[in-house]
Amino acid sequence: MTNITDLGVAAIRDGVAAGQFSAVEVAEAFNANVAAAQSALNAFIVATPEKAIEAAKAVDAARSAGQALGPMAGVPIGMKDLFATEGVQTTAASRMLECFVPHYESTVSRKLWEAGAGMLGKLNLDQFAMGSSNESSYFGNVISPWQRRGSNAQLTPGGSSGGSSAAIAARLAPAATGTDTGGSIRQPAAYTGTVGIKPTYGRCSRWGVVAYASSLDQAGSMARDVTDCSIMLEAMAGFDPKDSTSLDLAVPAWTASLSGDLKGKKVGIPREYRVDGMPAEVDAIWEQGIAWAKDAGAEVVEVSLPHTKYALAAYYIIAPAEASSNLARYDGVRYGLRDLPDGAGLQDMYAATRAAGFGDEVKRRILIGTYVLSAGFYDAYYTQAQKVRTLISQDFAKAFEQVDVLLTPTAPSAAFALGENVDDPLSMYLNDVFTVPASLAGLPAMSVPAGLDAQGLPLGLQIIGRPLDEQGVLNAGLAIEARAGFTAKPEKWW
Ligand SMILES: NC(=O)C[C@H](N)C(=O)O
């Protein structure tokens, strides 16, 4: 029999339901992989093997009693450490929240437990989800299970959901939650040969998710194939009165309607995504993706998204602006770290707490955000960026009059080495060039693994859909997945 830890969400759930193995056996197998990989990969901030076993026992008992099982029954998952989990440390990979143990459960995680999933632990990430490489984590960066052929240089698993992507690729979890503000699900998925979907803004509740940039933050699912991502997203999504931006819409039966047949569909190729200096292999995989879309029956047409070149700049104004406001709550008074130097007054406490509790990248964004919102610069930066955001949304709306989905590379390169961009924030931000436009427009988008580059590293293709058309995105993803036949996995060195 195949190793249990090579199985995905659907296979585990169906195997447990059919009695091929127990949920406890599954949880034990993944718990063992988590423990064995921790010192090498650092994918988890806290492992919770007992939680995984507890949930598995409940599923096994329900099965024995002949009760109906949920859509994630018996599936142990990793939880990005940005989701509040009752009684379990929730850090956002920061010193500020190192000792924060919530008294409540985020809506998304609660829904997953209700669907029968169990928690393997809290996954590492970039601090407050700010970053593209995982190097801003207070708990040390995650190390990708992937390595370049013939090299043991350590690579990034992407970010900010890098613990999630690394854990899935290394078989420490069959699936994991992610959050995506400007690419944090899609880019790590692309770097690790995994699948990740960010749904339409408002599909998943943000209640109980540590806030970064509230008008952009969106939870989503990450797994090893499109079907598994779809199953998990269905369990996570849905209206939540506790989140004022949550969409009051029923969750469609995406998984039951999955189809990789693109006959009658139009796939758009945005001209402006052909940027100078992109590695030839990224271009080549994009061409390959176009051929696969045609093979699946789609008509492929070129479209224009004329304001694309302003997206990155607008994102790195809007996201820090919102972050500077959201992170004002960490003042040492209410919760989180408090640094109260001897004889200090209130202002000194604020300053000392924030100096000690935030890492450099978080401070950089608070500074940028505060600057672009300040009286003299608000119109020049923040208002301009909001106008650009509207233009970008209009570009997409126009393109979607012509086509059903868009196909692009997910990232401008394969995974880079740790340390390579860490002192150069601008080149780090450039990683997000293909992912931020869909974020600014609140559109559903996913990354699907498409192949390996010459160094043996995964490359991903991005599919962007109309608002609320997760189905169209998933179907196009399935069509690409079926043709890419991506089965590569990292060679085990940890
Ligand atoms: N959170 C994200 O979506 C990651 C993005 N690279 C950022 O730093 O904002």
Q: What is the CATH number of the domain that holds 28?
A: 3.90.1300.10
Residue 212's pLDDT is 98
Ligand 1 centroid–CA 295 distance in Å is: 34
| Complex confidence, ipTM | 0.97
Per-residue pLDDT of the chain (494 residues; tens, 9 = 90+): 579 999 999 999 999 999 999 999 999 999 999 999 999 999 999 999 999 999 999 999 999 999 999 999 999 999 999 999 999 999 999 999 999 999 999 999 999 999 999 999 999 999 999 999 999 999 999 999 999 999 999 999 999 999 999 999 999 999 999 999 999 999 999 999 999 999 999 999 999 999 999 999 999 999 999 999 999 999 999 999 999 999 999 999 999 999 999 999 999 999 999 988 889 999 999 999 999 999 999 999 999 999 999 999 999 999 999 999 999 999 999 889 999 988 889 999 999 999 999 999 999 999 999 999 999 999 999 999 999 999 999 999 999 999 999 999 999 999 999 999 888 888 888 889 999 999 999 999 999 999 999 999 999 999 999 999 999 999 999 999 999 999 999 999 99
Q: Closest by alpha carbon to 179, among 159, 153, 194, 193?
A: 159
Give the whole-angstrom CA distance, residue 393 versus residue 442: 8
- The yes-or-no answer on residue 266 being catalytic is no
pLDDT value, residue 294: 98
Q: Which residues line ligand 1 (CB under 6 A)?
A: 129-132, 160, 180-184, 319, 432
418 part of a folded domain: no
Answer whether residue 28 is part of any domain. yes
Count of CB atoms within 10 A of residue 278's CB?
16
Fill in the amino acid letter for 253: A
Backbone dihedral angles phi then psi of residue 439, each to the nearest 5 degrees: -65, -45
Give the pLDDT of residue 7: 98
Query: Is 419 a domain residue?
Result: no
> Domain for residue 334, yes or no?
no
Using the mean position of ligand 1's atoms as its centre, give its distance from the Cα of residue 184 in Å: 5
* Model pTM score: 0.98
Backbone φ and ψ of 92, nearest 5°: 55, 25
How far from 104 is each of 20, 210, 368, CA to CA, in Å? Answer: 35, 12, 32
- Structural domain tally of the chain? 1
How many angstroms separate the Cα of 439 from the Cα of each of 56, 200, 224, 382?
36, 9, 23, 17
In the sheet that holds 218-223, the strands lie side by side as 44-47, 118-123, 76-80, 175-180, 218-223, 195-198, 445-452, 458-465, 405-409, 266-270, 299-303
Domain presence at residue 397:
no
**Is 164 part of the annotated catalytic residue set?**
no
Q: 173 in a domain, yes or no?
A: yes
Residue whose entry in the numeric block shows the structure tokens 């994918």: 43
Ligand 1 midpoint to CA 61 (Å): 41
The answer to whether residue 253 sits within a structural domain is: yes
Which is nearest to 312 in space by CA: 392, 234, 366? Answer: 392
Q: Is residue 425 part of a domain?
A: no
Q: Which domain range does residue 189 map to?
A: 4-261
